[in-house]
Amino acid sequence: MKRENINTEFLDGVLNGSHEDFYYHFGTSSSDPMLKPLREVRAVIMAGSGERINEFARTWSDLNGGSEIIAFPKEDRFVTRYTAGVLFASHGMGMPSASIAVQEMMRMVYFLKSGNLDAIDEVFWARVGTSGGVGHRAGTVVVSTEGVMPDLKPYRLMQGARGTYWFDGTFPAATREAILRANEGTGIPVVTGRTIATHEFFLEQFRLDGAIRLETAESKQEFLEWCHENDVANIEMEGAMLAAYLNWWGFASFAMICTVLLDRLEGDQVTSSPQQLHQFSADSGTVLFNYLSALLS
């Protein structure tokens, strides 16, 4: 872990009782007795949709002998469940929303582990989501090598008028390889590659079916072909920030596992049936749980 990159000035004050920490978007705080059992947390799993979080928590509980599921009461922003050592939380859509969830989750993990960096580093993080494939058909599961922005450069933030904060978007190779090993022989198509995260579903993903259209069929295809040539496997809306922040804090083990809903080289619209979409989501969950079962057994 990189202590110098963790806001210990604020977080250690929570530990020594100088102040409480309100995890406002999750509807809880460091003085909430509900958090006590969460001190055992060994993994934080995030997904865009609250429904998927609910389903993942139920599946993980079933895989762990029907372990108790603790449901956070506030659900108007993010849906959160804890069971059998895993904290499941939704993060909404896009990096502005997901960055709130990731920062508050990190504050919570720091508190739950009493600021012990070795214990914090043992926590595995993952986002399990959906994406548009680049040269991969619907149903393929991508385990990301690197999160980048649409110019294939890492995540960065404006430092007001003064400049830019740059981050490292790589996902740890050892974790990715362990996920692949845990999923050998399952029949689910799992590939690896770079993942683009955008701030916009239509324009920044070069879609032609938004209510605003800025690209031509040619410029869209040219962009997607360029992505394909540069080892981009899929496009979604959170991964570059997720890898950026987890690298910033110095975590050793984290991953992103995203199902492909369509091949963007072939089109723009998601036309899969609800049953197919459910299967895609279940498959990304299976890839995660095969790894989690090996990791946490």
Interacting residue ranges for ligand URA, rule: CB under 6 A: 130-132, 201, 205, 235-237, 261
Minimal distance in Å, beta carbon 281 to ligand URA?
12
CA distance 81 to 73: 10
Strands 28-29 and 156-158 turn out to be unpaired
Residue number, 92 or 132, with CB nearest to ligand URA: 132
CB-based closest residue to ligand URA: 132
Report in angstroms how near the CB of residue 130 gets to ligand URA at its nearest.
4
User: Toward ligand URA, which CB reaches closer, 11 or 282?
Assistant: 282
Closer residue to ligand URA, CB minimum distance, 90 or 131 = 131
C-alpha pair distances (Å), 173 with each of 121, 170, 180, 252, 256: 16, 8, 11, 10, 12
Contacts of 247 (CB under 8 A, 6+ apart): 167, 168, 169, 170
Element (H, E) at 129: strand 124-133
CB of 205 to ligand URA, least distance (A): 6
Nearest residue (CB) to ligand URA, 87 versus 261: 261
Exposed/middle/buried for residue 218 (C-beta within 10 Å: 0-12, 13-18, 19+)? exposed
Q: In angstroms, rounded to a whole number, what is the distance separating the alpha carbons of residues 215 and 146? A: 26
Q: Which two tokens mark 253?
A: 């083990």
**Which C-beta is closer to ligand URA: that of 38 or that of 260?**
260
To the nearest whole angstrom, how small is the minimum distance from the Cβ of residue 129 to ligand URA?
A: 7
Closest approach of ligand URA to the CB of residue 132, in Å? 3
